[in-house]
Amino acid sequence: MNISNTINRRECLGGAATVAGGLTVPRCLLADTSDTSDTSDTSDTLIQGKAEHVISIWLGGGMGQIDTFDPKQKGDPQAKKPGSYYNSIETAVPGVQVCEHLKNLAPLMDRVTAVRTVHHEMIDEHAAATNRMHTGRPISGTVTYPSLGSLITHERQAADEGAPPYVLIGYPNITRGPGFLGAKHGFLYLTNTSEGPAGLSRPDHITPARQSRRAAFLAELRRSAQPTRDSRLLNYDAAIEQSLKLSGPGFNSAFQIEKEPASLRNLYGGEFGQRCLLSRRLVERGVRFIEVSHNLNFLNGAGWDVHNEGILNQHGLIQELDTAVATLITDLENTRLLDKTLIVITTEFGRPPEFDSNGGRGHQGTAFSCVLAGGGLKHRGAWGETDEFSKKIVSDPVGVPDFFATACAAVAVDYRKNLYDGDRPVPITDRGQPIAELFG
């Protein structure tokens, strides 16, 4: 059954059905699921890494590669001279430079690979590009594809039975969801690190006694109901059980970031940094995949979408990213989790070298940068080469399916595998091939 025929997308995003415990479960949990898969392409040698977790950082709006991880000769917006907006600096990897505002990451680039030759054709519309960079595919009218987070957690589950497989720190969106895999491969989300997931907290007026009465009433309804094998109802019951399980003090303690030393919290920085700190705590608790959205407290009013005057304070965003990610890498290294945790930084598309009429930049999909760090990979600072304006790929192009396959391989997910939407085979990464040189 096609999930798009059984669910209203707006209901999935905005609605929630109240359950007996006073918790909330999205209505999309009523969607059908197909959990069948096989491996049909065995012609190539399977590449497998040893990472156990993924922290995926999403930069909403479109990070300009020429102003961050693929700097070129400096341009001039006033003279309409194409080029980088900032100066570049050397890194720990000879021959690899980054923007001057990535000064904390520069000495750590031997633990990082900026993949400079990612490309796709979705440049005119942010939603379509966001979908592409979360699912690895263009939007389809017949199939709702799963996100990378759902693909990986479908294959690997949670690393601890007391934790959910997939947590989103940011606002929910169907592009982050499980698609045809079904609701049990979806995410738990929170929008504020100071509060934790609202769906796992009982409202104040739901006392323990009232909770017990509701649970008893629900149990009686189940006993009196006719036995059913409807997968939608079974998924709903499973979601209730998981919510009740996760609402206890065990898992919820992961969200108490105030227990971290103040000195460490200060190193991470503001809300985005605290999200990155929380992601480390969730890794320790056994969550397999965490997405961290950098979409709050934007310093320029437009986020990474730096048209026109939006570019004037772009450096603040870059510095915020630099501070948080450099601290995350060091923190994971100090806790012996860096080799076990793949950090992925993605965005909708890149930015052209030319400046628009007000000094900002448009959209570019022909070549842009996504970043990998940790995860036990054989890092080299940068992969792939673009021309003198970071506009065209010179060598080692990496399609979005290839980037997905690299992430999957790093956590020992078979990127050659077919999943099934009903009886329709769907290649797990649209037949992408990992960057083999990062493994070994």
Residue 242 scores a pLDDT above 60: yes
Give the 3-state secondary structure of residue 39: strand
Structure tokens at 370: 């996504």
pLDDT band at 336 (very low <50, low <70, confident <90, very high): very high
8 Å CB contact between 373 and 325:
yes
Q: Of all helices (H) and strands (E), which one includes residue 371?
A: strand 368-374
| Cβ–Cβ under 8 Å, residues 123 and 17 | no
Please name which of 315, 318, 316, 325 lies closest in space to residue 268, comparing C-alpha atoms: 325
Q: How far is residue 5's CA from residue 1's CA, in Å, rounded to a whole number?
A: 8
Helix axes 314-334 and 271-285, enclosed angle (nearest 10): 30
For 336, counting Cβ atoms within 10 Å of its Cβ (0-12 exposed, 13-18 middle, 19+ buried), the class is exposed
Tell me what pLDDT residue 420 has: 95
* pLDDT for the residue numbered 25: 41
Sequence-ordered list of residues with C-beta below 8 angstroms from that of 390, at least 6 positions apart, any chain: 65, 66, 70, 71, 72, 116, 350, 353, 367
Assess if residue 240 is contained within a domain.
no
Query: If we measure between CA atoms, which residue out of 34, 35, 15 comes closest to residue 25?
Result: 15
Q: Which residue has 């189940």 as its token pair? A: 222
Confidence of residue 239 (pLDDT cuts 50, 70, 90): low
Arithmetic mean of pLDDT over the chain:
87
Which tokens belong to 158?
A: 């949670």
HEC letters along 201-215: CCCCCCCHHHHHHHH
Q: Which residues does residue 112 pair with via DSSP β-bridges, in sequence order?
A: 373
Q: What is the mean pLDDT of residues 427-436?
A: 96
> Rounded distance, CA 395 to CA 116, Å?
10
- pLDDT single digits (tens) 384-431: 999 999 999 999 999 999 999 999 999 999 999 999 999 999 999 999
- Cα distance between residue 267 and residue 270, in whole Å: 9
Residue 231: C-alpha distances to residues 15, 75, 191, 242 (Å): 20, 58, 30, 16
Q: Which tokens in the block code for residue 393?
A: 């790929």
Are β-strands 24-26 and 341-347 bridged in parallel, bridged antiparallel, or unpaired? unpaired
- 167: tokens are 């947590």
Confidence band, pLDDT 50/70/90 cuts, at residue 42 = very low
| CA triple 158-162-163, angle to 5 deg | 45
Q: What is the pLDDT of residue 10?
A: 36
Exposed / middle / buried, residue 279 (Cβ in 10 Å: 0-12, 13-18, 19+): buried
For residue 229, the SS3 value is coil
**pLDDT at residue 298 above 90?**
no
Give Cβ neighbours of residue 156 (< 8 Å, ≥ 6 apart): 165, 288, 411, 412, 413
Structural domain includes residue 210? no
Residue 228 lies in a domain: no
65 domain residue, yes or no: yes
In this structure, is residue 9 part of a structural domain?
A: no
Residue holding tokens 């949670």? 158
Give the structural domain span for 112: 33-201+247-438
Over residues 110-119, the mean pLDDT reads: 98
Tokens representing 100 are 């001057």
The tally of domains found in the chain comes to 1
pLDDT, residue 183, reads 87
Q: What is the CATH number of the domain that holds 174?
A: 3.40.720.10
Quick: pLDDT tens for 56-114. 999 999 999 999 999 999 999 999 999 999 999 999 999 999 999 999 999 999 999 99
Structure tokens at 36: 């069948």
Are the CB atoms for 307 and 64 separated by under 8 Å?
no
Q: How confident is the model at residue 223 (pLDDT cuts 50, 70, 90)?
A: confident
pLDDT tens per residue, range 8-31: 433 333 333 333 333 334 433 334
Q: What are the structure tokens assigned to 416, written together?
A: 């050659």
The reply to whether 212 falls in a domain is no
Q: Distance between CA 69 and CA 75 in Å, rounded? A: 16
Q: Determine the average pLDDT of the residues in 335-362.
A: 96
Model pLDDT, residue 33? 42
Q: Is residue 330 part of a domain?
A: yes
Q: Which of 237-241, 285-289, 350-354, 436-440 has the lowest mean pLDDT?
A: 237-241
Question: What integer is the mean pLDDT of 318-327?
Answer: 98
Q: What predicted TM-score, i.e. pTM, was given to this entire model?
A: 0.86
Spatial neighbors of 225 by CB under 8 A, at least 6 apart, are none
Asked, for residue 309, whether it belongs to a domain, the answer is yes
